[in-house]
Amino acid sequence: MYDVAIIGAGVIGSSIARELSRYQANICVIEREEDVCNGTSKANSAIIHAGFDAKPDSLKAKLNVRGNELMDGLSKELDIPFKRNGSLVVCTKDQDRAGLDELLEKAAVNGVPGCRIVEREELVKMEPNVADDVTCALYAPTGGIVCPFHMTMAFAENACVNGVSFFLNTEVKHIEKTENGYTIKTLHTDSNEEEIFEAKVVINAAGVYADELNNMVSENKLHITARKGEYCLLDKDAGTHVTHTIFQLPSKMGKGVLVTPTVHGNLLVGPTALDVEDKESLNTTGAGLGSLSMTSALSVKNVPMRQVITSFAGLRAHEDGNDFVIGEAADAKGFINVAGIESPGLSSAPAIGEMVAELVKDMLSLAEKDNFIATRKGILHPEELSLEERNELIKNQPAYGNIICRCEMISEGEILDAIHRPLGARSLDAVKRRTRAGMGRCQAGFCSPRTMEILERELKMSMFDITKNGAASNIAIGLNKEI
Amino acid sequence: MKQYDLVIVGGGPAGLAAAVAAKDNGIDSILIIERDKELGGILNQCIHNGFGLHTFKQELTGPEYASRFIDQVLERNIEYKLNTMVMDITADKVVTVMNREDGMVQIQAKAVILAMGCRERSRGALNIPGYRPAGVFSAGTAQRLVNMEGYMPGKKVVILGSGDIGLIMARRMTLEGAEVKVVAELMPYSGGLKRNIVQCLDDFGIPLKLSHTVVDIEGKNRVEAVTIAEVGPDRRPIPGTEIRYECDTLLLSCGLIPENELSKSAGVALNPITSGPIVGDNLETNIEGIFACGNVLHVHDLVDYVSQEAATAGKNATLYIQNGVAANVKTVEIVPEGGVRYTVPKFIRPTEMEDNLTVRFRVGDVYKNCAIATYFDEELISKRKRPVMAPGEMEQVILNKKKLAEYPDLTKITIRIEEV
């Protein structure tokens, strides 16, 4: 029997797993996808919000501000790409600037440091491409951008190294209360075999499905709506179009979209917002993508939408109560919900990990480990090395001299690291999320056959079993003339 | 730092022909850098025939065509490095290269020829809505899987775009046992060669739907269906015209983009129409001593023209290495008008150019029974009738040096499509 079973290996489940791995406990993480960071955590704005937006005293407000504070330390400890680029909420001449003052007040109540209103004259010096109709903005210097893949993987890898067991491709079908805990029935998504987990404490971090899991064991029903957001990602050539994260002051037209550089140097535009019935509907739409050029123009001019290299959709888990739902279900002892984690979920993830681990520690009277490994090294970035250092690296590990992804200049060495590290990559997208191979302007047209060869060789997989992103997303379906 | 007279970036058809020409014109210190494991570039995966009709008066396959040039490189003992990536080029012609054996090495060149070729426009760049399952491939990636590795990427195929690689892959996939349901083309005309429409689609009964595009991709893991719709003159889908095809694969052949990231790092100025460097009659870019040829300069229809152009670049790089730059030379711009989208070269040097200079270009629409007119300032110099011109095929005009010498005060040359 496990002390703790965490359901969901997104950024929330992984953060909780990492914080709990400080303690002497038998912990597992159950994830239906073939990789960690494969749901909402992989498709969002990749923002560490400053924390001025959430309603004072809400969990969203407290955990956002605390999560933001924790990021400097975590990014060093766990080698997470993170940058405090500062954020701006812009107000146009057709809008009431009182809206900005309200945000400024909320920022003060929520404890967000350094916020102030900047007038157009100063603003255009900070952001020359701000739209002509913008009159002023709220500036929050603590806003930041992060790599959500590496943030999640850093938590998960570190948890794994500290003894947490991860069960991937494992979908929870049923949860039942037992005398001293819970029985979790799962199906393996490849083999279709049933596996049963027993745990004293269950942590429900199942994203858009957290309501279904809660409703299996509790009469206090949750209801989560999947709110779709569509995004366009632009070429690195467009990556300096803005340097801050530019939000729009909400208006009658809606909440608006953001325009932001990513921590890897691309430009990101989005999201749209549309409530959807199907919790799997990760499709983009012509209308959604088409709207982004118009809505983004309200805050930033001349966004070079011709330089879009890919588009994607993510689903936010919106709970009817409009706040995070974190804590033990009142009628289900030992069943801890971490539900409704929509924006600012990514920003709050470090603080949610801290909060839930504290809760579980007290519940199970857990003692700290004395051999906890607090640090994790990410995948090497050879481009940051000097010529001499790089040559030394290639001399010792020649794979670092072999470029596989020509757009992002990713070498075989980085791909090998991605495959062989804890919770290593087993699919093309898993390699992509870890190394950026295939994430550039040709979108894996060049490197995918090469990456497939490496996966085949290193994991001794059949070429026909290699997938884009797990499940039945196979790439080659047969030999020539044999299909 | 290692030194070479001439570094050629890319060992495909352009790089090979440029190297041969440079050697034959008297340069010995030449290095070809190729990122793949063999010379020949994309020709190695083009196993269909139809290459070399102009150059060799024979129908060769891609690998055969490449091997003719590879043999010439080997016979001349021209140095080359395989499995080697060029990481950076500076305006001072320092070329940084990397491979497993040598690590990262800087090379000082006297001249550089850019011959990196092009890449395919991806699904993302086309911004096609829908799911993002496995089974969406660029036609060239599918071609590599099938022709180089022997793996089939799918059984039931829809193709978007009628570029040549897409047309060739329609036939290839059919011959390997797949069913190609339809080729949809956004424009009202095909982007490929007429002969490929006939030989790859018509001969196999594969329908080509012009003025159609993909409006949805279904399938959460693997492609399950693709919906296409007719587009209006604004190229936007017309509601109510959707047709859904059940399939497991979508191939994209929607245009090629010259791969000029390295050129940009050296400060080479690009033409927004071609996405390739702006060059003069000697194929030199705005950066002295950096030349360009082949598909990195502008996307060609036939490899024969790539080889011809590359030989010109090789010869001119040699002249530059031997003699430096001719000072204070008058240049005359070539202005594309009335249906001519661009010209390569963009300008000429009437006193320095070859006796007969080929100016290549593409037209922006289909023209029937029209003529290519060339003007020296306002004076009509030639008018050549063409029964059919289409964007998928390159056109050319030959400029004669002697004729140009008769116009010492010439300010511009205009090339345009006119009624006969």
Residue in A455, A445, A475 with CA at minimum distance from that of residue B151: A475
Residues from chain B contacting residue A472 (CB–CB below 8 Å): 221-222
Whether residues B150 and A479 touch (CB distance < 8 A) is answered with: yes
Between B120, B148, B153, which is nearest A476 by CB?
Answer: B153
Q: Dump pLDDT digits (tens) for A39-67.
A: 999 999 999 999 999 999 999 999 999 99
Q: Measuring CA to CA, how many Å separate A121 from each of A126, A128, B69, B351?
A: 9, 10, 61, 53
Between B122, B150, B216, which is nearest A309 by CB?
Answer: B122
3-state secondary structure of B222: strand
d(CA B176, CA B30): 41
pLDDT score recorded for residue B292? 98
pLDDT score recorded for residue B328? 85
Residues from chain A contacting residue B83 (CB–CB below 8 Å): 402
Q: Dump pLDDT digits (tens) for B386-395.
A: 999 999 999 9
Give residues 288 to 347 of A whose Cβ lies within 8 Å of B. 288-289, 308-312
Q: CB of A126 within 8 Å of any CB in chain B? A: no
Q: What is the DSSP letter of B90?
A: -
Whether residues B220 and A468 touch (CB distance < 8 A) is answered with: no
Whether residues B134 and A473 touch (CB distance < 8 A) is answered with: yes
pLDDT score recorded for residue A348? 98
Whether the ω angle into residue A344 lies within 30 degrees of 0, i.e. cis, is yes
**One-letter identity of residue A438:** G
What would the mean pLDDT of A225-241 be, rounded to a whole number?
96
Q: What is the mean pLDDT of chain A?
A: 96
- Alpha helices for B145-206 (secondary structure H): 164-175, 194-196
Q: Residue B123's closest chain A neighbor by CA? A: A310
Q: Measuring CA to CA, how many Å separate A99 from each of A88, A209, B141, B412?
A: 13, 34, 51, 58
- Asked if residue B304 lies in contact with residue B296, where contact means CB atoms within 8 angstroms, the answer is no
pLDDT at position A482 over 90:
no
Q: Dump pLDDT digits (tens) for B33-44.
A: 999 999 999 999
Of A236-240, A252-256, A376-380, B35-39, give the lowest mean pLDDT range.
A252-256
pLDDT at position A483 over 80:
no
Q: Measuring CA to CA, how many Å separate A408 from each of A140, B132, B298?
A: 31, 21, 23
Report how far apart the first and last C-alpha atoms of chain B are (Å, whole number): 59
d(CA B303, CA B59): 12
Q: CB of A468 within 8 Å of any CB in chain B? A: yes
pLDDT at position A250 over 90:
no
Preferred mutation among A280, A385, A397, A443 to probe B, highest tally of B CBs within 10 A? A443
For B158, the enclosing helix (H) or strand (E) is strand B156-160
Whether residues A483 and B100 touch (CB distance < 8 A) is answered with: no
Residues from chain B contacting residue A473 (CB–CB below 8 Å): 133-134, 221-222
d(CA A319, CA B72): 69
Alpha-carbon gap: B193 to the closest alpha carbon of chain A (Å): 23
Confidence band (pLDDT; 50, 70, 90) for A398? very high
Q: Which residue has the higher pLDDT, A95 or A140?
A: A140
pLDDT score recorded for residue B326? 80
pLDDT score recorded for residue B127? 87
Residue in A233, A293, A289, A243 with CA at minimum distance from that of residue A266: A233
Structure tokens at B373: 């007119």
Confidence band (pLDDT; 50, 70, 90) for B94? very high
What would the mean pLDDT of B349-370 be, rounded to a whole number?
96
Preferred mutation among B34, B42, B141, B173 to probe A, highest tally of A CBs within 10 A? B141
d(CA A4, CA A14): 13
pLDDT at position A116 over 90:
yes
Interface A-B, measured as beta-carbon pairs within 8 A, has a size of: 143
**One-letter identity of residue A304:** P
Between B100, B122, B141, which is nearest A449 by CB?
Answer: B141
Alpha-carbon gap: B397 to the closest alpha carbon of chain A (Å): 32
Q: Dump pLDDT digits (tens) for B117-159.
A: 999 999 988 989 999 999 999 999 999 999 999 999 999 999 9
- Alpha helices for B190-302 (secondary structure H): 194-196, 261-265
pLDDT at position B196 over 70:
yes
Q: Residue B119's closest chain A neighbor by CA? A: A442
Whether residues B149 and A449 touch (CB distance < 8 A) is answered with: yes
Give residues 374 to 413 of A whose Cβ lies within 8 Å of B. 387, 390-391, 394-395, 398-399, 401-403, 406-407, 409
Does residue A49 have an active-site annotation? yes
Whether residues B151 and A478 touch (CB distance < 8 A) is answered with: yes
Percentage of chain A exceeding pLDDT 70: 99
CB burial of B238-250 (b: ≥16 within 10 Å; e: otherwise) equals eeeeeeebebbbb
pLDDT score recorded for residue B27? 97
Q: Dump pLDDT digits (tens) for B211-266.
A: 999 999 999 999 999 999 999 999 999 999 999 999 999 999 999 999 999 999 99
Q: Measuring CA to CA, how many Å separate B346 from each of A227, B221, B332?
A: 51, 47, 9
Whether residues A406 and B102 touch (CB distance < 8 A) is answered with: no
Residues from chain B contacting residue A402 (CB–CB below 8 Å): 83, 99-100
Residue in A179, A191, A53 with CA at minimum distance from that of residue A109: A53
Q: CB of A83 within 8 Å of any CB in chain B? A: no
> Judging by beta carbons within 10 Å of its beta carbon (0-12, 13-18, 19+), is residue B11 exposed, middle or buried?
buried
Residues from chain B contacting residue A284 (CB–CB below 8 Å): 129-130
Q: What is the DSSP letter of B165?
A: H
Alpha-carbon gap: A247 to the closest alpha carbon of chain B (Å): 23
Alpha-carbon gap: A320 to the closest alpha carbon of chain B (Å): 27
**One-letter identity of residue A36:** V
Q: Dump pLDDT digits (tens) for A306-365.
A: 999 999 999 999 999 999 999 999 999 999 999 999 999 999 999 999 999 999 999 999
Whether residues B103 and A472 touch (CB distance < 8 A) is answered with: no
Preferred mutation among A233, A431, A475, A481 to probe B, highest tally of B CBs within 10 A? A475
Q: Dump pLDDT digits (tens) for A153-186.
A: 999 999 999 999 999 999 999 999 999 999 999 9
pLDDT at position B187 over 70:
yes
Q: Dump pLDDT digits (tens) for A415-463.
A: 999 999 999 999 999 999 999 999 999 999 999 999 999 999 999 999 9
Cβ neighbours, 10 Å, residue B192: 27
Structure tokens at B153: 């990427």
In degrees rounded to 5, what are phi and psi of residue B403?
-60, -45
pLDDT at position A255 over 80:
no
Cβ neighbours, 10 Å, residue A196: 10
Q: What angle do CA A337, A338, A344 make, to 5 degrees?
A: 155
Confidence band (pLDDT; 50, 70, 90) for B384? very high
The region, left, alpha or beta by phi > 0 then psi within -120 to 50, assigned to residue A191 is: alpha
pLDDT score recorded for residue A254? 67
Residues from chain A contacting residue B35 (CB–CB below 8 Å): 403, 406
Between B123, B138, B177, which is nearest A483 by CB?
Answer: B177
What would the mean pLDDT of A109-115 be, rounded to a whole number?
97
Alpha-carbon gap: B71 to the closest alpha carbon of chain A (Å): 26
Between A283, A308, A391, which is nearest B103 by CB?
Answer: A391
Structure tokens at A175: 């949860």
3-state secondary structure chain A: CEEEEEECCCHHHHHHHHHHCCECCCEEEECCCCCCCCCHHHCCCCEECCCCCCCCCCHHHHHHHHHHHHHHHHHHHCCCCEECCCEEEEEECCCCCHHHHHHHHHHHHHCCCCCEEEEHHHHHHHCCCECCCEEEEEEECCCEEECHHHHHHHHHHHHHHCCCEEECCEEEEEEEEECCEEEEEEEECCCCCEEEEEEEEEEECCHHHHHHHHHHHCCCCCCEEEEEEEEEEECHHHCCCCCCEEEECCECCECCCEEEECCCCCEEEECCCEEECCCCCCCECHHHHHHHHHHHCCCECCCCHHHEEEEEEEEEEEECCCCCEEEECCCCCCEEEEECCCCCHHHHHHHHHHHHHHHHHHHHCCCECCCCCCCCCCCCCHHHCCHHHHHHHHHHCHHHHCEEECCCCEEHHHHHHHHHCCCCCCCHHHHHHHHCCCCCCCCCCCCHHHHHHHHHHHCCCCHHHCECCCCCCECCCEECCCC
Alpha-carbon gap: B381 to the closest alpha carbon of chain A (Å): 39
The region, left, alpha or beta by phi > 0 then psi within -120 to 50, assigned to residue B123 is: alpha
For B371, the enclosing helix (H) or strand (E) is strand B367-376
